[in-house]
Amino acid sequence: MMSTDQDQQSSEESGELKSPPPAPPIREEEVEEQENRQMQVAMKMVGSAMVFIGFLQVFLSVNTGAEISIFPMIIYFSGMALWAYSSVDTPIIRYTVIGLSLLCGMAFMSFGEVLFWHKYAIYWGTVGMVIFFMFQTPKKPASL
């Protein structure tokens, strides 16, 4: 017994660093919240990429006058639904955008072709949506 007390005193006197206290255990809620945030970021990235790929094909066909199939529209509206689900905070706006995106995607599938005015509606609708969300001020977190 005596030697352990002397060893502790001698290690404290010699200036050796003590090991840090163990970290508090991570709660399951924090782990789930972090996983949800990671999934939201992944959905934002995939949705944005799909919107960009679909919009790029629409934009190029508008500029060149070429015809496109319905697949860029399906990619565009699917990406829009994913992006809205992961990015828009207000439930009414989120589910309205998702519903309209899915409705438009199904309409193009049943219609089977993309007309010239469809491309312009997609083009200007995307420009308007980008302007709307670009100038929207973010909400500040409530101070507790």
pLDDT digits (tens), the chain, 144 positions: 555 555 555 555 555 567 777 666 667 777 777 878 888 888 899 998 999 999 999 889 888 888 888 899 999 999 999 999 988 888 998 999 899 999 988 988 888 888 888 888 888 888 888 888 788 777 776 665
pLDDT of the residue at 132: 82
The C-alpha angle 110, 57, 102, rounded to 5 degrees, equals 35
Cβ–Cβ under 8 Å, residues 87 and 52:
no
The span from the CA of 74 to the CA of 10, in Å, is: 73
> What are the extents of the domains in the chain?
39-134
The span from the CA of 84 to the CA of 57, in Å, is: 21
pLDDT of the residue at 35: 79
